[in-house]
């Protein structure tokens, strides 16, 4: 049963990463602006982070959906969700009103403070699913199970 729950977790988290990353890959300038809006990184870091983050999201998402190097992808996913929760909590605490830029967009949003609890809650649930995959990376219908299958001969060595 755990392996089927792991499959669902992989597909949900992986799909979210692919959706989020794909939305930003198509408009790298907007992604950079969204990173700048958080006012957490020095100006020189916002551009590389804004350009590389969507690519990382798509790669992590694809790895999770495919079940390839699941534990490593889940660790990266967990770290990203922790960073995003901290980022959203930080702008909320500082009274900034910005769109999280999670699925494209970003910048000023007058209604942002009412969305922050939902965004933090969503990311917390996705973090828990990612941590589940760190704990149990062996799931159904994964490339890991095909590529790294243990054979009885090797287990006895």
Render pLDDT for 93-112 as a digit per residue (tens, 0 to 9). 999 999 999 998 888 898 99
Q: How far apart are CA 73 and CA 48, in angstroms?
A: 21
pLDDT of 155 > 70? The answer is no
| Tokens read off for 100 | 């999280």
Q: Taking a C-beta distance cutoff of 8 angstroms, is the pair 141, 3 a contact?
A: no
pLDDT at residue 31 above 90?
yes
Entry pTM: 0.90
Beta-bridge partners for 97: none
Say yes or no to pLDDT of 153 above 60.
no
Q: Which of 15, 134, 125 is closest to 65 using CA atoms?
A: 15
């Amino acid at each position: 049963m755990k392996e089927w729950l792991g499959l669902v977790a992989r597909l949900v988290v992986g799909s979210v990463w692919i959706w989020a990353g794909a939305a930003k890959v198509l408009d790298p300038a907007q992604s950079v602006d969204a990173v700048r809006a958080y006012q957490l990184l020095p100006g020189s870091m916002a551009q590389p982070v804004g350009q590389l983050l969507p690519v990382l999201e798509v790669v992590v998402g694809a790895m999770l959906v495919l079940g390839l190097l699941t534990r490593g992808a889940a660790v990266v996913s967990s770290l990203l969700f922790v960073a995003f929760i901290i980022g959203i909590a930080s702008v909320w605490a500082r009274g900034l009103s910005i769109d999280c830029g999670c699925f494209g967009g970003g910048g000023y949003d007058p209604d942002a403070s009412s969305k922050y609890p939902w965004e933090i809650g969503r990311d917390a649930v996705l973090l828990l699913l990612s941590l589940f995959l760190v704990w149990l990376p062996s799931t159904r219908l994964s490339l890991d199970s095909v590529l790294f299958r243990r054979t009885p001969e090797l287990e006895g060595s």
